[in-house]
Structure 1
Amino acid sequence: MASWADHAIWWQVYPLGFVGAEAALTEGAPVTHRLGQLENWLDYAIDLGCSGLMLGPVFAAETHGYDTIDHYRIDPRLGDHEDFDRLVAAARARGLRVLLDGVFNHVGRSFQAPPEWFREDVFEGHEQLVVLNHDEPAVVQYVVDVMCHWLERGIDGWRLDAAYAVPPNFWHQVLTQARSRFPDAWFVGEVIHGDYAGYVNQSGLDSVTQYELWKAIWSSLNDGNFFELDYALKRHDQLLDTFVPQTFVGNHDVTRIASQLRDERHLGHALAILFAVAGVPSIYYGDEQAFRGVKEERVGGDDAIRPAFPAGPDELGEAGWPTYRVHQRLIGVRRRNAWLVRAPATVEHLTNQAIALRSEGDGQVLVLLNISDQPYRFPLDTTGFAVEALPEETDEPEELAVVQSHSWLVLTSG
């Protein structure tokens, strides 16, 4: 994994939704220069504590961006190459890394290529998505060329969409060539379930998306069953022998965490887990403001989770800023203890509704979570620890081992 990725904290944005672009591309329509709207939010992302911008699809596509028709052209609904170059330059000037979304499993139906580039099937029943033939050498070379074109233009790596549907040997061929030219690039694949470590070993990817941990975080909080989280963390930590997973509690494909949780008091708990366990974390735009949205399995079912943002942060409502500040405090813990990226989390104490997680590196981080209706005293020695993050910016508790009902604490020592 590229050394800089150990310090990466991504702000993930779905550009077509963020800028309020039309639902479909009309070929021949004039270019609309919207991509620059993102520049107004770069300082906001930095203030949040992020070090990188993870962009959803920006290439010319028929509708939602995952039906690409030209990987070398910026979608006219977003702008043009000059708009893109300005955005990358603005991010670079602030020290932000940039990751692009590469949709190389399938393309839009109007993508122009020889017949041997395609398989006969469509992707997961979506008639407008045609699967590429990953056994075709010309497809391998095409993806290499596309990746290198944009890496040359200043990006730092790629999120590879639907990587799970692509033979791992295809990525191995592609990444071997891409890394020979760009050894510091970082490549993360979208893998939903299965043998994460095996797929990384065979494909050569740096990381894959940790959906198993995502599910365990919200599910354990909803069900009052931290034994599920304990089980998932044991599996999560085993992955560290092979790679560092890409972790999240929200993205462009799932119901927002604020809507997913049955009890809004547990949002901070989910975030405390995310930023205190190993992984390369990302925050999906709007989650830091407690945006709500439910994904539905229908045409347009992603619209609620891919909304337009206002022109600038000063136009956001007041209600979301407390959640933003919770993110800041927890990301601050992560940045002050960067070793957490590779540190296994030991469960020091466990009940259905209370859990204590300890991670050790240059110091120690102890996360205490209580989702019961009563204060909970953890049977732990907290000598030498101090409060590092709280749900509210209030005075420190009198007893570090006691966590109030539906609350949490992050303690550090060393």
Structure 2
Amino acid sequence: MFFFVLFAVVMGAAHYYIWKRAVRDTTLPGRGRRIGTVVVLLLYVLVMAGLSVSRLGWALGDAVAWPGFIWLAGAFYFSLILGVLEIPRLLMLRSTRRLEVAVAAGVPNAVAETPETPEQPEAPEQPADPGRRLFIARSLAVVGGVATAGVVTYGATQALGDPVLKRVPVTLGKLDPRLSGYRIAVVSDIHLGPLLGRAHTERVVRMINEQQVDLVAIVGDLVDGTVDELGEAAAPLRDLVSTHGSFFVTGNHEYYSGAEPWLTELDRLGVSPLRNERLTIERAGASFDLAGVSDVTGAAFDDGPDYARALDGRDTSKPVVLMAHQPVQVREAAKHGVDLQLSGHTHGGQMFPFHLAVGLQQPMRSGLETIDGTQVYTTNGVGFWGPPVRVGAPPDITVLELHHNFAGR
């Protein structure tokens, strides 16, 4: 409820600003302004309805989700671009006022003074000419609207198109040379829901199977809805093919959607949940440990991460790969000697400039980094949350290829 109220206030402020710059400033009092006001109000209601999709019922929610979330991105970028355009707006209004002052002071052709021109008496500053003000406001509103449409359209093609396939080599000092070349498909944040359904899952499964990997790691945020609503959309996961199977750890959204039924459903589909546990992966007489911990959000649902249970008592001469939804979990993982952590959650920022905000909560945004001595790979994920828009953070499926470091750790 707190999030909903906060979101309503922020969106209300954004829509008021859009109304002020794109409706009030661009129209004269009358019918046109009234129509524009009604349109902005309806768009605000549409955004709030899109956020309330689960409360509206699945059929009605699906009908409002697409336009609601598309406009959510539009409202964000339109208000952001209009904010940036405040600078040229103020400069143009100031130039207009100076021109009027010069004309009122009798400067021929409103040219600026030169050393040969005697100083003119200063005339009182007057408001910009209404016609000029209207022209400036309309021009900037059109520029902002066109730019917003371009950004949102580009972002939608990124979010809804095929994920980028990344191949990332990772060197582990403890890895037995016989395991060198072992391939793990890392996928996260699939976010099945009102906007992404069975076809999305089928595409993800097809792309992973084409890589002929040894293991599939799904690191959370599979769904935004219940098993009853989305069980059919998740069903293609049963078709995942790999040498050593498919594994799953919870993300924060699983707990909002009913984690227990989903863990049961995934197990039925052949995707093995790792709930604060580990197992041994063997090939050609060599092995490494694969572990998984619950998401930190699970602590509020009596299912929080238990690193000691998952990691203590193992053979520390072998490397351990940990599946954990959020990169921030590496702080605890490093204390238990984890060699490589696989994470998602950040969406790579999803929509610029949210990239800049990720660092307020997480130690990294995406890619491969070493934190507190533990390597962490964070995928951008293959889905999206909220707007079906990605700007500067395309969706991806990553194939990590493990290699032995012959020079030692």
TM-score above 0.5: no
Q: What TM-score do you get using the length of structure 2 for normalisation? A: 0.31
Q: What TM-score do you get using the length of structure 1 for normalisation? A: 0.31
Higher relative strand content: 1
Higher relative contact order (CA 8 A, sep 6+): 2
